[in-house]
Amino acid sequence: MSLMPASNPLDDAAETAAAPAAPSFSPLYQQIKALILQSLEAGEWKPGEAIPSEMDLAARFRVSQGTVRKAIDELASENLLVRRQGKGTFVATHAEQHVQYRFLRLVPDAGERGSEAPADRSILECRRTRASAEVARALGLRTADPVVQVRRVLAFNGVPTILEDLWLPGVAFKGLTAEQMADYQGPTYAMFELEFGVRMVRAEERLRAVAADDTQAKLLKVAPGTPLLSVERIAFTYNDVPMELRRGLYLTGDRHYRNELS
């Protein structure tokens, strides 16, 4: 599918510049960024694949290479694209190590992020159900729309450390099974990309301190009332479409939740 504008964006920009300023005006590079984002959302370029060169994109959109470069720079800063020296620009993927750790915040006190073996994942439940009002609101669905609900325990070095509940839109994740989630060796978000064509590009989280109830304590093999860090995450794909609600309970006896602000 061609996304070439019907008219030259440079001509359009010149006309806009000559007219009185309007609230809807956006710089030309932002318009090109939006067009590239449309192609990413439509799956024209898959995660891990190279996108066309700046020269080719400039010809496609009939703008300068500098305009394309500025649009790509912003998409790269947002972790949607990755520049590789001498190779080109690629669609970011959660299969890449540095992207995996972008969403991994629980770090061992005695080591750095990614310094230990991947967590062992025990899938306790994976079933199709109907969205409650709360889940529907978080995922932009209607109450009772189909969702996939997953419960799992993540263990590090044999020690249960995280209890997670996930809710995923049923249409986008039709056919997801417990076996798929248990058998895939890489990051869960990489599996979502590969198997379902859904790429999580950003997330919003809320943290609070809670005490383990009887069920949670049993699954994490701790005493009821043990302090836990509760992390609620909504993960979004392109254009801020919510695709996952995740609620995790973290044991932090020998770990901490690390965030980097800039």
Q: What is the pLDDT of residues 52-70, one digit of tens each?
A: 999 999 999 999 999 999 9
Q: What is the CATH number of the domain that holds 174?
A: 3.40.1410.10
pLDDT at 114: 55
User: Among 91, 111, 136, where does a domain finish?
Assistant: 91
Boundaries of domain holding 185: 97-257
**Same-domain pairing of 122 and 53:** no
User: Among 91, 106, 132, where does a domain finish?
Assistant: 91
Does the pLDDT at position 246 exceed 90? yes
What one-character-per-residue DSSP string does 180-244 give?
Answer: HHHH--S-HHHHHHHHH-----EEEEEEEEEE--HHHHHHHTS-TT-EEEEEEEEEEEGGGEEEE
**Same-domain pairing of 114 and 193:** yes
User: Among 71, 91, 111, where does a domain finish?
Assistant: 91
pLDDT at 143: 97
Question: Is 262 a member of any domain?
Answer: no
User: How many domains are there within the chain?
Assistant: 2
User: Which position has the higher pLDDT, 50 or 119?
Assistant: 50
Q: CA 97, 103, 108, 111 torsion: positive or negative?
A: positive
pLDDT at 258: 79
**Same-domain pairing of 111 and 210:** yes
75, 49 in Cβ contact below 8 A? Answer: no
Tell me the two tokens of residue 132.
């409650």
Q: Report how far Cα 208 is from the mean position of its chain's Cα atoms.
A: 22
Mean pLDDT value of segment 188-194: 90
CA contacts within 13 A on the Cβ side of 176: 32
- pLDDT tens column, 136-167: 999 999 999 999 999 999 998 899 999 999 99
**Same-domain pairing of 165 and 233:** yes
**Same-domain pairing of 62 and 126:** no
User: Which position has the higher pLDDT, 231 or 15?
Assistant: 231
Mean pLDDT value of segment 194-203: 90
Question: Is 3 a member of any domain?
Answer: no
- For the chain, the average pLDDT equals 85
What is the share, in percent, of the chain residues with pLDDT greater than 90?
Answer: 56
**Same-domain pairing of 104 and 188:** yes
**Same-domain pairing of 236 and 156:** yes
pLDDT at 115: 54
- pLDDT tens column, 81-123: 989 888 899 988 876 554 444 566 777 887 665 556 678 899 9
